């Protein structure tokens, strides 16, 4: 079962690389924001996965919850700023 | 450790990307994703509290503050004009890196029982911390009791930084 | 029980992979948000559900379930806020926007 | 209602905290009641809430998400990429904040459609292709969400 979890972890990490490509190359600022959101969702999943691998889920769940809530605050703040500011300063 | 390898590769890629990219806004977002990966690595080696701080400060607050700063500046400096790298740095930095790697070879392995730290200090903390400090969590006992002055002054630094941010960001300033 | 967990995780991984492919292929911000929604509301949630089932019906099941619920409730808000900001700052879906 | 909210918060505390001795549970109870006491009274946007309808709503929404998820996956994996993205102006008879939040969130959760702008009685929705918006246009979402908050069915 641990091998399976390791394979899942590797696959998700490779997928993070795809979103990272979107963060680097995204034509507009909002593409970058979307890429960052995708990475953070995967980080939440990965934290729970790591916790399951170590059989210490109760410890990792706390960080995962904190991640999810902070991600909301950060993303809303970014969206508000971008909305006030208007289109990307290119 | 093979299990950390994919995340470590991703960490190096994101860190390199944050330095190499020209556009400052994308640099901010790449730095945010770097923080996410770094927090995952911390969680993987078992430092859960550090991972939590990295998630809160690095991925949440720092990204927002960087964006605020970026929007406070003019649009002219969103592109970096970087001078060419001097030859001395190109030669000196690999040598320094090799020296550091050579030095790291002498460090005890992760979780080594025979290393100095786990022979003298760790058993003392693990065995006596409950009687001496009445704190159930050992990490909390080390941070808040054995190293309380260190933590206290760290708190002062963070508080000062918070006041500075509040002063800079207040409405109607500038 | 373990097989159900593996099934859920593999199904979630399928959606995660498809979402990533969509992130690369789709032409503009608005369409890419759909790929992200696929990743969030199906991929991540199915993987989390698989992990919860793997844990069995203990306290940890409930804890993972709370995280799942958070992802479920908060991620639509995030993608809506991002897309609204994109719309309000004058971005429009265009066919000829370069890849 | 407020006692119920405090109780729900306390249950959440029990789930998230790992320890069940008296001190921690008492802390949780105090914190939960403090939060309810400090927050403004009630939720004025929700007139009535039917638990039975909510119990029916969640499996329905999950089945919907799975169905449109496979649809969107087929669109993305198709080599020709047969998408036709476009905005849809969606008129709805729901107008209170609670209903709009649930409706908008459900639309965004369903792959293929995303809420862009929200106003009472009117939503701007971005759809990935025509088939994704089909369901929304038929007004099933509005009916379901309306039943959730027990709005009297008006005739169309």
Residue extents of the structural domains in chain C: 2-88
Q: CB–CB of B158/B152 below 8 Å? A: no
Instruction: Return the H-helix or E-strand segment holding D125.
Output: strand D122-127
Instruction: Say how many C-beta atoms besides its own lie within 10 A of residue D9's C-beta.
Output: 18
Is the Cβ pair C23, A11 closer than 8 Å?
Answer: no
* C16: chain A residues, CB-CB within 8 Å: 11-12, 15, 42
Q: Is the pLDDT of residue D140 over 50?
A: yes
Average pLDDT value for residue range D112-126: 83
pLDDT in tens, D54-112: 788 888 888 888 888 888 888 888 887 777 777 888 887 777 777 788 888 888 888 88
Distance of CA B72 to the CA centre of its chain: 25
Helices then strands, each counted (H, E), chain B: 8, 0
CA–CA dist B41, B72 (Å, integer): 33
A62 touching B, CB under 8 A?
yes
* Nearest-CA distance A61 → chain D (Å): 8
Report the candidate in C52, C51, C16 with the shortest Cα–Cα distance to residue C37: C16
Per the CB < 8 A criterion, the answer to whether A41 and A12 are in contact is no
Could you tell me which residues are beta bridge partners of residue D126?
A: D87, D114
Contact with chain C for residue D80, Cβ under 8 A: no
- For C58-80, the pLDDT digits (tens) are 777 888 888 888 888 888 888 88
Give yes or no for residue D33 having a pLDDT over 60: yes
D155 pLDDT more than 50? no
- CA-CA-CA-CA torsion sign (B24, B25, B28, B34): negative
pLDDT band at B95, cuts 50/70/90?
A: very high
**Do the beta carbons of residue B141 and residue B133 sit within 8 Å?**
yes
User: Do A37 and A76 touch, CB atoms closer than 8 A?
Assistant: no
Say yes or no for a CB contact (<8 Å) between C34 and D65: no
> What distance in Å separates the CA atoms of residue C18 and residue D73, rounded to the nearest whole number?
6
> Using a CB-CB distance cutoff of 8 angstroms, which residues of chain A are in contact with residue B78?
89
Distance in Å, alpha carbon of B3 to nearest chain A alpha carbon: 7
Give, as one character, the DSSP assignment of residue B79: B
- Residues B66-85 have a mean pLDDT of 69
Asked if D16 is an interface residue toward chain A (Cβ–Cβ < 8 A), one would say yes
Structural domain includes residue D156: no
Please report the residues numbered 39 through 78 in chain A whose beta carbons come closer than 8 angstroms to any beta carbon of chain C. Answer: 41-42, 44-45, 48-49, 52, 57-58, 61, 64-65, 68-69, 71-72, 75-76, 78
Whether residue D57 is found in the same domain as residue D33: no
Which residues of chain D neighbour A62 with C-beta distances below 8 Å?
16
Residues D60 and D130 in one domain: yes
What pLDDT is attached to residue B174?
46
Burial of D15 (0-12, 13-18, 19+ CB in 10 A): middle
Kindly state the percentage of chain B with pLDDT values over 90: 11
Are D117 and D147 contacting, i.e. CB atoms less than 8 angstroms apart? no
Least confident of B32-36, B116-120, B143-147, C14-18: B116-120
Verify that D59 and D89 share a domain, yes or no.
yes
Above 50 in pLDDT, residue B103? yes
Residue of chain C whose alpha carbon sits nearest to that of A86: C89
Interface contact flag, B29 A23, Cβ < 8 Å? yes
> Chain D closest CA to C13's CA: distance in Å?
13
For A50, A63, B112, C23, the CA distances from B6, given in Å and listed in that order, are 13, 21, 24, 21
One domain, residues D57 and D118: yes
Question: Which residues in chain A come in under a pLDDT of 50?
Answer: 88-90
Please state the length of chain D. 156
Domain ranges of chain A: 2-85
Per-residue confidence (pLDDT) for residue B156, from 0 to 100: 93
- Is residue D88 classed as helix, strand or coil in its secondary structure? strand
Of C35, C76, C77, the CB nearest to D76: C35
Looking at beta carbons, which residues of chain D come within 8 Å of C35?
A: 76
Nearest Cα of chain C lies from the Cα of A40 at a distance, in angstroms, of 10
Closest CA to A13 of B59, C16, C67: C16
Segment D15-38 mean pLDDT: 83
Tell me what the pLDDT averaged over chain C comes to.
83
Question: pLDDT (tens digit, 9 = 90+) per residue, B34-67?
Answer: 888 888 888 888 777 788 888 778 877 788 888 7
Residue B76 has pLDDT above 80, yes or no: no
| Residue that the structure tokens 């619920």 belong to | C69
Of C90, B29, C78, which Cα lies nearest the Cα of A76? C78
Domain residues of chain B, as ranges?
1-78, 112-174
Domain count, chain D: 2
Domain that holds residue D64: 51-148
Q: What is the pLDDT of residue D42?
A: 57
> Is residue D154 one of the residues assigned to a domain?
no
Q: Are residues D91 and D124 located together in one domain of the fold? A: yes
Q: How confident is the model at residue B102 (pLDDT cuts 50, 70, 90)?
A: very high
Spatial separation of the C-alpha atoms in residues D3 and D6, rounded to whole Å: 5
- Residue C84 reports pLDDT greater than 90: no
Average of per-residue pLDDT values in chain D: 78
Task: Report the SS3 class of residue B110.
Answer: coil
Query: What's the confidence (pLDDT) of residue B75?
Result: 54
In degrees and rounded to multiples of 5, residue D127 shows phi and psi of -115, 145
Query: Which positions 5-44 of B are in contact with A (Cβ < 8 Å)?
Result: 6-7, 10, 13-14, 17, 21, 25-26, 29-30, 32-33, 36-37, 39-40, 43-44
Contact by Cβ (8 Å): D110, D64: yes
C79 token code pair: 């993608």
Minimum CA–CA partner of A87 in chain C: C89
Can you tell me the distance from the alpha carbon of D11 to that of A71, in angstroms, rounded to the nearest whole number?
A: 24
Complex ipTM, two decimals?
A: 0.78
The answer to whether chain C touches chain B by having 3 or more C-beta pairs less than 8 angstroms apart is: no
Q: Does D3 touch chain A if contact means CB atoms closer than 8 Å?
A: no
Distance from CA of C53 to the nearest CA of A (A): 11
Residues D57 and D98 in one domain: yes
Cβ burial, residue B134 (10 Å; 0-12/13-18/19+):
exposed
């Amino acid at each position: 079962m641990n091998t399976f979890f390791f394979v899942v972890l590797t696959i998700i990490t490779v997928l993070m690389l795809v979103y990272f490509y979107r963060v680097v190359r995204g034509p507009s600022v909002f593409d970058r924001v979307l890429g960052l959101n995708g990475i953070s969702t995967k980080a939440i999943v990965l934290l729970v996965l790591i916790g399951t691998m170590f059989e210490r889920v109760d410890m990792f769940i706390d960080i995962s919850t904190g991640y999810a809530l902070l991600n909301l605050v950060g993303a809303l703040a970014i969206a508000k700023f971008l909305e006030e500011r208007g289109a990307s300063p290119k | 450790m093979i299990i950390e390898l994919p995340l470590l590769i991703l960490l190096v890629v994101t860190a390199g990307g944050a330095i190499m990219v020209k556009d400052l806004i994308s640099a901010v977002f790449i730095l945010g994703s770097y923080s996410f990966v770094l927090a995952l690595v911390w969680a993987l080696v078992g430092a859960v509290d550090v991972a939590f701080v990295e998630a809160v400060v690095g991925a949440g607050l720092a990204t927002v503050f960087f964006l605020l700063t970026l929007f406070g500046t003019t649009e002219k400096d969103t592109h970096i004009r970087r001078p060419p790298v001097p030859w001395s740095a190109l030669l000196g930095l690999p040598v320094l890196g090799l020296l550091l790697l050579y030095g790291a070879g002498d460090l005890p392995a992760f979780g080594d029982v025979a290393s100095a730290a786990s022979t003298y200090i760790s058993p003392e903390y693990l065995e006596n911390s409950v009687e001496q400090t009445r704190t159930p969590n050992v990490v909390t006992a080390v941070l808040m009791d054995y190293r309380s002055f260190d933590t206290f002054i760290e708190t002062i630094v963070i508080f000062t930084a918070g006041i500075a941010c509040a002063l800079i960001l207040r409405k109607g300033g500038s | 029980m373990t097989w159900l967990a593996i099934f859920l995780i593999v199904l979630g991984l399928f959606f995660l992979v498809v979402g990533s492919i969509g992130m690369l292929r789709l032409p503009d911000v608005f369409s890419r948000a759909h790929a992200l929604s696929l990743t969030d509301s199906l991929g991540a949630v199915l993987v989390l559900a698989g992990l919860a089932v793997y844990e069995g019906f203990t306290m940890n099941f409930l804890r993972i379930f709370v995280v799942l619920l958070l992802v479920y409730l908060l991620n639509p808000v995030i993608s809506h806020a991002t897309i609204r900001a994109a719309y309000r700052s004058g971005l429009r879906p265009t066919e000829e926007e370069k890849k | 209602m407020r006692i119920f909210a405090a109780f729900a918060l306390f249950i959440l505390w029990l789930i998230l905290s790992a320890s069940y001795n008296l001190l921690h549970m008492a802390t949780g109870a105090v914190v939960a009641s403090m939060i309810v006491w400090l927050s403004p009274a009630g939720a004025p946007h929700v007139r009535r809430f039917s638990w039975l309808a909510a119990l029916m709503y969640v499996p329905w929404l999950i089945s919907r998400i799975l169905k449109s998820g496979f649809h969107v996956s087929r669109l993305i994996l198709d080599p020709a990429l047969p998408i036709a993205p476009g905005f849809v102006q969606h008129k709805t008879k729901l107008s209170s904040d609670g209903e709009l939040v649930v409706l908008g969130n459900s639309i965004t959760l369903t792959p293929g459609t995303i809420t862009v702008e929200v106003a009472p009685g009117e939503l701007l929705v971005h759809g990935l292709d025509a088939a994704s918006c089909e369901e929304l246009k038929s007004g099933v979402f509005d009916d379901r969400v309306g039943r959730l908050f027990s709005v009297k069915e008006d005739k169309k």
